[in-house]
Amino acid sequence: MAKPKVVLGVSGGIAAYKACELLRRLTESGHDVRVVPTDSALHFVGEATWSALSGNPVSTEVWESVHEVPHVRIGQAADLVVVAPATADMLAKAAHGLADDLLTNTLLTARCPVVFAPAMHTEMWEHPATQENVATLRRRGAVVIEPAVGRLTGVDTGKGRLPDPAEIFEVCRNILNRHGLARGAAAAPDLAGRHVVVSAGGTREPLDPVRYLGNRSSGKQGYALAKAAAARGARVTLVEANTGIADPAGVDVVHVGTALQLREAVLKAVADADAVVMAAAVADFRPAVYAAGKIKKKDDGGAPTVELVRNPDILAELAADRALPGQVVVGFAAETDDVLANGREKLRRKGCDLLVVNEVGERKTFGSEENEAVVLASDGAETPVPYGPKEALAETVWDLILPRLRSTT
Ligand code: CTP
């Protein structure tokens, strides 16, 4: 089989040196990579490096090998274009369709998925001009990865760092896998222009400064859902509780601890969301009283009684009181007995559109890489998902959400 053709566009920022690592990962995993740097990118990393690492010629201009019409051919032939780093200037040019060098021409002729990995100072990223350009690119179907937070050039820190090359690579690989190298309009990411919210992990309800009531949710299914949606072009907000998993590239992550914090973060995020998937295991109860000091053993040999109070049912609240008309609300249910009957009853009781039901037990689901489920829909449809990776279940969930999304035209 022919190697997938990837164009690595590099624009002129200090993070250009990190694109060498992305290039190495792409070539080592069997991709045919053509590097198209901008002139200013070559100030940071020279042509010889790109050429040696890619094994392909490198040009920045449309005036080289004119008989091969490179400004058209490179984009046409690509299975994926990834621009890393994408400067504020590059995002502006791409959003406005400028074509003054080989990379911007390539962006106009490419009909494959396009990924931008921005890197710039926080002020430039947050400027309304950049934010509007990013929104434009996303609306058209490009995947714009959220920059990471951390040390920037000089003494500054903040949002604007190029995400880890390994993360950018994973986004690219997911997109290529998903599109099976299909070319043309059909390959457009089908969640482009959508905002989706996913909750993941398990809440912890503190009892005293050292103890909490928790559960065994690993958060892996929620992360698989968030990554799959990002690869399908959505803007993703992931509300995460106690997973300890690194933030995935291209996803806005909000970290919370308790059920009440999770509720607040989810309600805020869904205000403009097309869909919300509650994959988190939310504690139904919390200790009525939080002891400010560690609860000590008494000399009488007795044990304290912990009084619990109910937490709000966030899923039921989201379904009953939708932030936008037609917002799709999806829940998860982990059941140990009468899985389907309990699932159907829960779907009705919670009022959501889809409920992903899986059987849990000693060795099933919690912490594992695999899952088996049935997705129940409020219209009566039931979709069994065979035992397999959590990524596959994530794709099926989005496949089922897609036709239920509100019309945006
Ligand atoms: N959920 C929620 N808020 C809660 C509890 C659960 O939003 N306080 C959501 C979970 O995120 C999940 C779904 O509801 O999507 C199902 O959770 P589950 O614990 O199975 O439902 P319960 O209503 O707690 O049912 P049970 O009586 O079986 O515990």
Candidate of 199, 240, 242, 282 to mutate for ligand 1, largest count of ligand atoms within 8 Å of Cβ = 282
Q: Which residue has the tokens 């043309």?
A: 184
Number of structural domains (the chain) is 2
What pLDDT was estimated at residue 2?
Answer: 78
Q: What is the Å distance from ligand 1's center to 400 Cα?
A: 21
Residue-range definition of the domain harbouring residue 255: 195-404
Is residue 186 in some structural domain? no
Write down the catalytic residue from 215, 242, 358, 371.
215
Cα–Cα distance for residue pair 358/77, rounded to 1 Å? 42
Would the pLDDT of 185 be above 50?
no
The question of whether 215 is a catalytic residue gets the answer yes
CATH of residue 384's domain is 3.40.50.10300
18 with 92, same domain: the answer is: yes
Q: What is the pTM of this model?
A: 0.73
Lowest pLDDT segment from 67-76, 112-121, 392-401: 67-76
CATH for 126 = 3.40.50.1950
Same domain as 233, residue 134: no
Which comes out higher in pLDDT, residue 174 or 220?
220
Say whether both 350 and 207 belong to one domain.
yes
Residue 53 sits in the same domain as residue 144:
yes
- Six-digit token string for 45: 């990393």
99 and 54 fall within a common domain: yes
The answer to the question of residue 350 being in a domain is: yes
Written as one letter, the residue type at 354 is L
Query: Which residue's CA is minimally distant from atom 9 of ligand 1?
Result: 315
pLDDT band of 183, cuts 50, 70, 90: very low
Q: Is the pLDDT of residue 240 over 90?
A: yes
What is the reported pLDDT for 59? 84
Q: Give me the pLDDT at residue 24, please.
A: 96
Residue 87 exposure: Cα atoms within 13 Å on the Cβ side: 17
- CA 148, chain centre distance (Å): 13
Q: State yes or no: pLDDT of 174 exceeds 50.
A: yes
Protein residue with least CA distance to atom 16, ligand 1: 333
Q: Whose CA is nearest to atom 12 of ligand 1?
A: 332
CA atoms of 343 and 20, how far apart (whole Å): 49
Average pLDDT, the chain: 90
pLDDT value at 186 more than 50: no
Q: Of the residues 154, 179, 204, which one is the last residue of a structural domain? A: 179
Sign of CA dihedral 316, 319, 324, 327: positive
Same domain? 252 vs 366: yes
The answer, yes or no, to whether any atom of ligand 1 lies below 6 A from the CB of 240, is: no
Output 309 or 369, whichever has higher pLDDT: 309
- Ligand 1 centroid–CA 333 distance in Å is 7
Residue 281: exposure state from Cβ atoms within 10 A (0-12, 13-18, ≥19): buried
Looking at the fold, whether 240 and 375 belong to one and the same domain comes out as yes
Residues 175 and 33 in one domain: yes
Last residue of a domain, one of 126, 151, 179: 179
In a domain, 21, yes or no: yes
From the list 289, 18, 298, the residue with the least C-alpha distance to 167 is 18
pLDDT in tens, 333-379: 988 888 899 999 999 999 999 999 988 765 555 667 777 899 999 99
Q: What is the pLDDT averaged over residues 157-186? A: 76
In this structure, are 233 and 140 located in the same domain?
no
- Give dist(CA 35, CA 51) in Å, integer: 8
Q: Flag whether 22 is in a domain.
A: yes
- Ligand 1 pocket check for 256: Cβ under 6 Å: no
